[in-house]
Amino acid sequence: MPLTGSKARWLELLLTTCLSLGLSASVAAQPAPPSVQPDSGLWDSGDGFQFDLKKKKRKKTRQSVSGIACNLNAAQQRVCLLAFDEGAEARYATLDRQALRIDAEPVVLRDTTDELDAESAATDGHYFYVAGSHSAKRGDCASNPDSRHVIRFRLDPATGRALRTPTGALVGYADSGKLWPLMQALPELAPYVGERKCLGDAPPEKAPELAGQQGVNIEGMAVQGGQLYFGFRGPVRDGVARVLAVNTEALFSPQPASDAKPTVTSLALGPHRGIRDMVAVKTGLLLLAGPDDSRTSQDAGWTVAWWDGKAAAGVVQPRLLAALDLSGVKLRHCDKELKPEAITVLEETATAYKLLVLSDGLCDGGPLAFTVPR
């Protein structure tokens, strides 16, 4: 007798888990990708991003760049929207020769003092998109409903910045809360979605009585072909991370969340690595992978991989392109630590991608350029 309803969905989850376990040995046996060093030192950012905050909080916010989305404006300048996992505002910067030319214009993503925990940004040339992590707080597993938002607003192709009304409001602004209930209905993600779902697999430092539950944590996002892709730093099981793809228009429409036609793809990124960011390229998506949410994974290192972006059953093996060699990067007086969390493409040729990688923990993202072979 065929299985239906919840039984069928949970069987699918069990099969996916088994495939993941079976694949883990082959992932570990893969040849190491080439190691690439930065093309130069940290890019200059002038006086840095400015926020109307107390000095200590201002520095912490400058160190919290977590997403970047870039486009070419009418003057062929590369203008980028940068997201921060502190507060609820974004900022613009124009990429110049080894420099970030920072724009002081604030971009208010949500009119609140609550923490959006914006971890990713993307653009399709028509809209900017910013997503909150949808995760529990790392220190004590407290639920953070303020992070359960995906925001979009129109892009002005002339300036490369947001299109605004005469009063300064963002044109086409929409704030979708659909992703959370959508994830709760998907068997591949449902066990990791809920209140106080601790990140990783160990108790948090501030709540040692709680268990790690591999709670969801969105840290990457890309948009391509009418779909928004959300990449997860957690959950990660046996070197397998997940990407959720949804129909972009349906996510922001008043229709039921199920109309977004969600698909979940399991990607083998290697032991202890989750997705830290994603960006669309001509033939698919580039994935920046790094340590997942477990404390024992923090030495896993960062890699760049290519995936065609197509949903598939079982576990998909992206093509590993490079491991990032960060050993020669020297921190500045404003920097705290080096954690790559945002990626954009500066140039795409037949043989290589020239990438700009920004880090949480470095002031203004501490941009570093890499040339990654295809």
Tell me which residue has tokens 């032991």: 271
In a domain, 117, yes or no: yes
Contact 320, 30 (CB under 8 A): yes
Q: What is the pLDDT of residue 6?
A: 42
pLDDT at 14: 42
Distant-in-sequence, close-in-space partners of 18: CB < 8 Å, separation ≥ 6 = none
User: Identity (one letter) of the amino acid at 258?
Assistant: S
Which structural domain range is residue 20 located in?
Answer: 5-35+67-328
Overall size of the chain counted in residues: 374
Structure-token pair, residue 70: 């870039």
pLDDT single digits (tens) 123-136: 999 999 999 999 99
End-to-end CA distance of the chain: 48
Residue 356: inside a domain, yes or no? no
- What rounded mean pLDDT belongs to the chain? 92
Nearest to 175 by CA among 218, 225, 230, 116: 116
Number of Cβ within a 10 Å radius of residue 211: 12
Confidence of residue 9 (pLDDT cuts 50, 70, 90): very low
- With cut-offs at 50, 70 and 90, classify the pLDDT of residue 227: very high
Dump the DSSP string for 127-177: EEEEEE-----TTT----GGG--EEEEEB-TTTSSB-B-TTSPBTT-EEE-
Q: Kindly state the DSSP code that residue 125 receives in the 8-state scheme.
A: S
pLDDT at 30: 62
pLDDT digits (tens, 9 = 90+) for 267-320: 999 999 999 999 999 999 999 999 999 989 999 999 999 999 999 999 999 999
Please report whether residue 284 resides in a domain: yes
Average pLDDT over residues 61-78: 97
The partner residues of 323 in beta bridges, in order of sequence, read 35, 303
The answer, yes or no, to whether residue 216 has pLDDT greater than 60, is yes
Does position 23 have pLDDT exceeding 50, yes or no? no
Number of domains in the chain: 1
Is residue 146 domain-resident?
Answer: yes
In a domain, 368, yes or no: no
Dump the DSSP string for 32-64: PPPEE--SSSPPB-TT----SS-HHHHHHHHT-
Cα gap 236→201, rounded to integer Å = 9
**Residue 132 is part of a domain; what is its CATH number?**
2.120.10
**pTM for the whole structure:** 0.91
Q: What confidence tier does 224 reach under pLDDT thresholds 50, 70, 90?
A: very high
* Residue 280 domain-assigned (yes or no): yes
Single-letter code of the amino acid located at 122? A
* Strand partners of residue 265: 243
Q: Does residue 351 fall inside a structural domain?
A: no
- Residue at 136 is within a domain: yes
Residues 168, 156: Cα–Cα separation, whole Å: 13
Number of other residues whose CB lies within 10 A of the CB of residue 128? 28
Q: What is the pLDDT of residue 367?
A: 98
